[in-house]
Amino acid sequence: MLFLAGLLAGYSLPVPTPMVMVAASPQEFLPAPPTDRSLVYILDLENKLTPLPFEQGSTPLHSNTVAKETRTSYVEIKGEHAATILTPMPRWFLFTSQRTGTHPPFLVWLTPHKDARRVTVVAQKGLGGFAIASEQIVKPSVRVLARLEGDNIFMEGRPRASLAPGEYAIIGDDLTRIATFRVAETPR
């Protein structure tokens, strides 16, 4: 459904996948793939994988049908703030596919709107689903940690530069499962 978003963001995962590699420092911990492949993980202080909480998003677009016209809208997540606070350089881990025409879930910057957080999306005429506005996608460095059966992989993502304070989400093609977090202002 979000294939167009991959094209707009400038990275889809064709096979073989050209990945941006990040050199591991000697102290950097690389986790083994966990058994639950449905979650998005971060590392806790003891280097254990901890799932990020999911929130549900909604959109006025009918993303299950082919768009009759190009429309700009939003995906909205209720509540002013995510429960989880992370550092400006978080690492996240998830399972995804390297199948041609697919992309990993996107890290997106959310804008506040009343008592909610939003990301801009576009439904393009003649296509099903929607694309996330490219200016709200945080382009990550991606590293494949394990290749699994078929086209499946366990990967690490991280921002290329420190995230600004604000609200963020990792959004795939299921709006009922959006992993959210925030980066807080650092005291001076």
Domain ranges within the chain, ordered by starting residue: 3-15+39-183
**C-alpha–C-alpha distance, residues 164 and 86, integer Å:** 11
Give the 3-state secondary structure of residue 84: coil
* pLDDT tens string 72-110: 999 999 999 999 999 999 999 999 988 877 777 899 999
* pLDDT tens string 128-172: 888 899 999 999 999 999 999 888 999 999 999 999 999 999 998
pLDDT over 90 at 24, yes or no = no
Phi/psi of residue 119, each to 5°?
-130, 140
* pLDDT tens string 35-69: 999 999 999 889 999 999 999 999 999 878 898 99
Residue type, 33: P
Which letter does DSSP use for residue 31 in this model?
P
- Global pTM reads 0.81
Alpha helices in the chain (DSSP H): 3-9
